Amino acid sequence: MNPTDSFEDLLRADLASAASTASTDLGVPVDSLLHDGRRQRRRHHALWAAAAACVATVAVGVGVLGGTDHSADRPGSTSDPVVTTVSAFDARVDVRVPGNGPAQPSLTERIALTREASGTYRVWMGQIGSPRLSSGGGMGGLDPARGQLLTDGDVAVLLAPASAVEAVLWSVGDLGAVTHVVADLPEVALRAFVFRSDGRSVDTAAPLESAWFRADGTPVTGGRDGSVVRFSDGQRLWVTADGGHFGLDDVGGPVAGGASAPLHEALGGASAVGRPDGSTTVWTVFAVVRDSAHDATVDFGGAVVPVTRIESLPVPGTGWTAIRGVVRGQVDSPRLSWTGSDGRRHEFVAGRTN
Amino acid sequence: MATDRLARDAAFTAFVHEATPSLMRSATLLTGSTHAAQELVQASLVKAYTAWHRIEPGTALAYTRRILVNQRTDAWRRTKGEVSVESPPDRATTDPSTVEDRDRVVRLLARLPEQQRKVVVLRYYTDLSERATADALGLSVSAVKSLTHRAMTTLRTAYVNEQEDAR
């Protein structure tokens, strides 16, 4: 037995010994896994229904893109991967995406498209110049008018029409700090919003959802226009077409990603967004109500806090009402209340699940 | 549809009971911590469930192991470069040298770069071939050979150094 064999045998024995004493307790009951699995399936199906037919063709793009030569694998398959050769792209862009310090260096995401006979596009995406294994791949059937969200490791790319001026990404899972870079693909009249999480895989935070915004501030999801309300000072509140999400512009950017939240069936939702305003902190408290609303007030548990403005405006085309109160000073548990169409008083407390 | 789901859930439940010990052992070697291993295996099994209809019969364990070794959990990242070794069982029959060996290999594994650690676990614990390891990690066989060589060189040196320090 040569020295290498001896060491390999020793290593095997040590690994087996360590593994034999490892806990085999999963930590949760199987029912919990089934529950999580079903929930992910439902969300996955809803989000990717349009793309499901294309899944079989995903993951041949890395070689095409000229990046690493790692072939992607299909579950349960041991056959060689399909390799597609594309001699020319109709559009291609390399986007430098900043990282989050030494642990997450910057990377270059390459996005390329070829035109399909149906007038749609096939998209190739992969990371180049990164030591990380790329999971780049291709997906067909991109309708330029609808846009498409694609993921690659800690990167998510929303391809939207060139007229899109803003975009926002959100997830039920925790994406951490998200930065984004915008790149144009003028040859195909598309704009790429390239988001990067702070290192966590965007797939593990799935389901991801996104919206892009027209120049007038209207959010677009799945090709459908949502609604937008502007309060008297110009601050925008937007609601997606399905009522699934809304947000409020923040001082730090045109879209309040942090204020995105699922609308509740009965009440809607609300959030308090801090806005530095000189030496005074201005809090904006808002709610979207699936009803008409009047006589809206803001209350802070009896504390005397001057309310600068309170407004309630109909959200066009929805039958809902947006209520917003602007309050000076640091406040806790702001409570919005209003009279609904049933003549009764209703309330929403920011931070409380309704 | 409901019948399909019941059948799927029953098959998946049986698979979880069967595969969890093996997956937990691999995950513990990869993460160095029971807690991180549990998170890793739970997340891998949930992913396997969502793809259950695509998994060919007889390949579920290999498929889930592939998810596991290609997944990185937050807990894993937070403890990268560190290792949390569980206390040895409080048994009179425990051989101290065995405990030391077990702790040693877990500790040394944690010092390896992530890909090298995965290759070592798949090749020398799971006993996968170079080809199967390459398939699981989405690498070429030559890349697996290179990673294996570098990992073994590092481990061999570390073992020798520890033996000399112990004298």
Q: What is the pLDDT of residues A190-230, one digit of tens each?
A: 999 998 887 667 766 656 778 888 988 898 988 889 999 88
AA letter at A24: T
- Residue A45's Cβ-side half-sphere holds a number of Cα atoms within 13 Å equal to 7
In our burial notation (b when 16+ CB lie closer than 10 A, e otherwise), range A16-39 reads: ebbbebbeeebeeebeebbebbbe
Q: In this predicted structure, what is the pLDDT of residue A25? A: 85
Pairs of CB atoms within 8 A across A/B: 142
| B121 interaction partners in chain A (CB closer than 8 Å) | 15
Distance CA A178, CA A299 (A): 33
Mean pLDDT, range B147-164, rounded to an integer: 87
From the list B44, B45, B38, B31, the residue with the least C-alpha distance to B70 is B44
A17/B98 touch (CB, cutoff 8 Å), yes or no: yes
Q: How far apart are the first and last CA of chain B?
A: 67
Q: In this predicted structure, what is the pLDDT of residue A174? A: 61
A76/B59 touch (CB, cutoff 8 Å), yes or no: yes
Which residues, 6 or more positions from A14, have their beta carbon under 8 angstroms from its beta carbon?
Answer: B101, B102, B104, B105
CB B109 within 8 A of CB B121: yes
DSSP string, A132-169: SPP--EEEEEE-TTT-EEEEETTEEEEEEETT--EEEE
Distance CA A51, CA B118 (A): 32
From the list B123, B93, B70, the residue with the least C-alpha distance to A203 is B70
Q: Decide if pLDDT at A97 tops 90.
A: no
Average pLDDT of the residues of chain A: 68
B24/A24 touch (CB, cutoff 8 Å), yes or no: yes
pLDDT (tens digit per residue) in A123-146: 877 777 543 333 334 556 777 777
Helix (H, G, I), strand (E, B) or coil at B107: helix
Q: How many CB atoms lie within 10 A of CB B102?
A: 22
pLDDT band at B51 (very low <50, low <70, confident <90, very high): confident
Distance between B92 CA and the closest CA of chain A, angstroms: 15
Which of B9, B34, B88 is opposite residue A23, by nearest beta carbon? B34
Helix B96-111 × helix B2-31 angle, to 10°: 100
Distance between A44 CA and the closest CA of chain B, angstroms: 9
DSSP A187: G
Helix (H, G, I), strand (E, B) or coil at B70: helix
pLDDT band at A78 (very low <50, low <70, confident <90, very high): very low
Cis peptide, bond prior to residue A334, ω within 30 of zero? no
pLDDT (tens digit per residue) in A144-191: 777 788 877 788 889 999 999 888 887 655 666 667 789 999 888 899
What chain A residue is nearest to B66 in terms of C-alpha separation? A75
In our burial notation (b when 16+ CB lie closer than 10 A, e otherwise), range A220-235 reads: bbeeeebbbbebeeeb
Give the residues across from A245 on adjacent strands.
Answer: A262
B159/A19 touch (CB, cutoff 8 Å), yes or no: no
DSSP A18: H
| A70 interaction partners in chain B (CB closer than 8 Å) | 138-140
Q: Is A257 near chain B, with CB under 8 Å?
A: no
CB A252 within 8 A of CB A303: no
Distances (CA, A) of B76 to A17, A103, B33, B46, B72: 22, 14, 9, 18, 6
Q: In this predicted structure, what is the pLDDT of residue A184? A: 92
Q: How many CB atoms lie within 10 A of CB B111?
A: 13
From the list A157, A136, A132, the residue with the least C-alpha distance to A147 is A157
DSSP A186: G
Helix B2-31 × helix B34-50 angle, to 10°: 150
pLDDT band at A271 (very low <50, low <70, confident <90, very high): low
Distances (CA, A) of A62 to A79, A83, A137, A181, B32: 18, 10, 6, 21, 32
Of the residues B46, B80, B114, the best mutation for testing chain A's interface (the one with the most A CB atoms within 10 Å of its CB) is B46
B45/A200 touch (CB, cutoff 8 Å), yes or no: no
Question: Which carries the bigger pLDDT value, residue B16 or residue B51?
Answer: B16
Q: Decide if pLDDT at B161 tops 60.
A: yes
Q: What share of chain B is helix, strand, coil (3-state, %, to 5)?
A: 75, 0, 25
B42/A75 touch (CB, cutoff 8 Å), yes or no: no
Distance between B97 CA and the closest CA of chain A, angstroms: 11
A23/B156 touch (CB, cutoff 8 Å), yes or no: no
| B124 interaction partners in chain A (CB closer than 8 Å) | 8, 11-12, 15
Please name the helix (run of DSSP H) or strand (run of DSSP E) that holds residue B65, with its range, or none.
helix B60-70
DSSP string, B127-163: ---HHHHHHHHT--HHHHHHHHHHHHHHHHHHHHHHH
Helix (H, G, I), strand (E, B) or coil at A337: strand
A23/B86 touch (CB, cutoff 8 Å), yes or no: yes
Distance CA A217, CA A319 (A): 19
R_g (Cα) of chain A, nearest Å: 25
